[in-house]
Amino acid sequence: MFKLTFARKIMAAAACAAVLISPAQAAEKVYTLKLAETWPTNFGVFSEPARRMADLANKMSNGRLEIRIDTANKHKSAFGVFDMVRAGQYDMGHSASYYWKGKVPNTLYFTTMPFGMTATEQYGWFYYGGGMELMQKVYEPFNLMSFPGGNTGVQMGGWFQKEINSVEDLEGLKMRIPGFAGEVLAKLGANPTNIPPGELYTSLERRTIDALEWVGPSMDLRMGFHKIAPYYYTGWHEPGTELQFLVNKRSFDKLPADLQEILTTAMRVAAYDMTIQSYHESGQNWATMKAEFPNVEVKSFPPEVLAALRKANDELLAEHAANDELAKEILDSQAEYMGVVRQWTDIADRAYLNSFE
């Protein structure tokens, strides 16, 4: 009798522990992740996604998931985010995939490509067209996960001191333009460079460079380029620049399943939100630029220049694909997806906008 009662007590205590203590402990445990941004402090719309994601994750988890953010001012390594997250020094990063092309060439394709997809088309590719799977395939060997981190939309072709009227005008042109587009311009005789954001204004003002591209009105207004360069060219090189959330795989795996879902959802919502905010701010800021500096002239590159850029672009892409099997798989996937989705864009957005002034 005594034995039975004792056994029951033990079982009751065990049941209590299982029902009351374990979930309670789980519900109280706070997981803290550290995130490093490529951007300096107060960097306009680029500073928003990490903060919005952290705030959402914290609220959705009832305080169980805390994300601490360090800007580049703190960690002093804007382009070291990949390595720091890989090493586990940080659990997460907010940056852009094409900054890592010098380390891992195939990371280049997940930000934006010259003459490539628009933001909407590219989101379709990421989430429904196999893009996310290919991106993971590139990042997995480095113990990293990569997620879309907010889109700037079509970027402007840049600020120029002189007009570009022919392919010859590109020869010797000193221009700040990073990524694949820089390689394309170099093929046509230009001298592309990458200059840190803080030095861009002075470089253009002192004519150390002849031209630069940055983003578009959403980010350009605060830089003041419209005060020192008369020509604002429309874009060809970054039609839908997607920023990136990087996550250390081990840090992610340590989270309980619900917090993993909360984190993933918060990143996706924050990316979507930056995309809208960028569009909003570009509209507002362009109105401001036009009102304050009516002499700024918007120009598009002549058809022969665009044709030459496109030819150089296609030749470089073919080289990339020929040199690397995974690069070929990614580029084929993008080309195939765009081949289908662009036909829809043509009779939808393009037809709508072309049908009236």
Report the interface residues with Ca ion, using CB under 5 A. Answer: 155, 238
Say if residues 213 and 237 touch (Cβ distance below 8 Å): yes
Residue whose CB is less far from Ca ion, 71 or 155: 155
Q: Tell me how far, at minimum, the Cβ of 28 lies from Ca ion, in Å.
A: 44
Residue whose CB is less far from Ca ion, 61 or 97: 97
Beta bridge partners of 193: 176
Q: Tell me how far, at minimum, the Cβ of 158 lies from Ca ion, in Å.
A: 8
Say if residues 100 and 135 touch (Cβ distance below 8 Å): no
Residue whose CB is less far from Ca ion, 130 or 197: 197
Residue whose CB is less far from Ca ion, 129 or 158: 158
Q: Tell me how far, at minimum, the Cβ of 215 lies from Ca ion, in Å.
A: 5
Q: Tell me how far, at minimum, the Cβ of 122 lies from Ca ion, in Å.
A: 15
**What are the angstrom distances between the C-alpha of 180 and each of 63, 73, 96, 210?**
41, 27, 13, 19
CA–CA separation, 44 vs 38, rounded Å?
13
Residue whose CB is less far from Ca ion, 121 or 238: 238
Residue whose CB is less far from Ca ion, 106 or 112: 112
Say if residues 252 and 229 touch (Cβ distance below 8 Å): no
Q: Tell me how far, at minimum, the Cβ of 278 lies from Ca ion, in Å.
A: 12
The burial class, CB within 10 Å (0-12 / 13-18 / 19+), for 304 is exposed
Q: Tell me how far, at minimum, the Cβ of 58 lies from Ca ion, in Å.
A: 31
Residue whose CB is less far from Ca ion, 129 or 216: 216
Question: How do 158-160 and 211-212 pair as beta strands?
Answer: antiparallel
CA–CA separation, 204 vs 51, rounded Å?
32
Residue whose CB is less far from Ca ion, 52 or 176: 176
The amino acid at 280: H
Q: Tell me how far, at minimum, the Cβ of 155 lies from Ca ion, in Å.
A: 5
DSSP 8-state assignment for residue 161: S
Query: In terms of DSSP H, where are the helices of 29-95?
Result: 48-60, 72-75, 81-87
Determine which helix (DSSP H) or strand (DSSP E) holds 4, and give its type and residue range.
helix 2-16
Say if residues 36 and 248 touch (Cβ distance below 8 Å): no
DSSP 8-state assignment for residue 84: H
3-class DSSP state of 93: strand
Q: Tell me how far, at minimum, the Cβ of 263 lies from Ca ion, in Å.
A: 28
